Amino acid sequence: MKKHIQMQLNGQSVEFLCETSGTLLHALRDSLQMTGTKEGCGSGDCGACSVMMNDTLVCSCLVLAVECSHADIRTVEGLAAGDALHPLQQAFLDNAALQCGICTPGLLVAAKALLDKNPDPTETEVRYWIAGNLCRCTGYDKIVRAILDAAQRLRGNASVNELQP
């Protein structure tokens, strides 16, 4: 028997049916056609499926969809306000912090969770916070720079790049 679930998704009330064994990731991707959240491993090891659940960063492959009844879920699709990118998204573009782009949605969600908690992280804090988000393309250098850059922008300062000669 499928279960009927209602939840908030990026500020919008949504409903779907799911198997009791179905994950939030599959509900997002298959039932709700929100394919911005990616599946890299299905075991919580790669972070590509990172989403916010009631203000907690989770791997959506490790959350059952039935646990999300009345939950507040936020995904990469909810980061931008209309056509205005979130400063993290803009910083990722400006710093060339993506190559293939498959880990990018999860990293953006994870990075936002960090900056919401800690608006002025050190490089080391950024590295440990995103240690659960694997990227195989970039070596993380430009991702870490982009997150520090976005933090600076969000604090109301100029972009790191604009400060450089």
Partner 1 sequence: MTKKSAAIGNEAPGMAPTIIGTRPVRPDGIDKVTGRARFGADVNLPGSLVGAVFRSPHAHARILNIDISKAQALPGVKAIITAEDLPVISEDMALINNQPPDFRDLSANVLARGKVLYEGHAIAAIAAIDEQTAHQALLLIDVEYAVLQHVVDLHQAMEPDAPLLHEHLITKGITPAPKKPSNIASRYEQVHGDVEAGFAGADIVISEEFTTQPVHQAYIEPHACMAQVAADGQTDIWCSSQGQFMVRAYCARLLDMPLSKIRVIPLEIGGGFGGKTTVYLEPLAVLLARKSGKPVRMQMNRSEVFKATGPTSGTFISLKIGARKDGTLVAAQGILCYQAGAFPGSPVRLGCMTAFAPYNIPNVKLIGYDVVVNRPKSAAYRAPGAPMASFAAECLIDMLAQKLEMDPVALRLLNAADDGTQTAYGVTFKHIGYRQTLEAARQHPHYSAPLGPNQGRGVASGFWFNIGGPSSAAININEDGTAVVTTGNPDIGGSRAAMAMMAAETLGIPYDRVQVLIGNTNAVSYSDLTGGSRVTFAVGMAVTQAAQAVIEDMKRRAALLWSVEPAEVEWLTGNAVLVAEQKQLSLADIAGQAARTGGPIAAQANINAQGAGPGFATHICDVEVDPETGHVKVLRYTAVQDVGKAIHPSYVEGQMQGGVAQGIGWALNEAYLYDENGRMLNPGFLDYRVPVASDLPMIDTVLVEVPNPRHPFGVKGVGEVPIIPPLGAVANAVARATGVRLFDLPMSPPSVHKAIKKAARRRR
The residues that touch partner 1, with contacts defined as CB under 8 A, are 19, 21, 26, 29-30, 33-43, 45-46, 48, 75-77, 79-80, 85, 89, 92-96, 98-105, 108, 123-124, 126-128, 130-145, 148, 164
- Which CB sits closer to partner 1, 57 or 148? 148
Task: State in angstroms the smallest separation of the CB of 142 from partner 1.
Answer: 6
- Which CB sits closer to partner 1, 52 or 135? 135
Task: State in angstroms the smallest separation of the CB of 110 from partner 1.
Answer: 10
Distance CA 48, CA 40 (A): 6
| Count of beta carbons in the 10 Å neighbourhood of residue 33 | 7
| N-to-C CA span, the chain | 62
- Which CB sits closer to partner 1, 23 or 68? 23
Distance CA 107, CA 147 (A): 10
The owner of tokens 């039932």 is 31
Task: State in angstroms the smallest separation of the CB of 82 from partner 1.
Answer: 11
Q: Taken in order 45, 48, 52, 53, is the CA torsion positive or negative?
A: negative
Tokens at 87, concatenated = 């400063």
- Which CB sits closer to partner 1, 13 or 124? 124
- Which CB sits closer to partner 1, 70 or 162? 162
Yes or no: say if 148 and 88 are a contact pair by the CB < 8 Å rule.
Answer: no
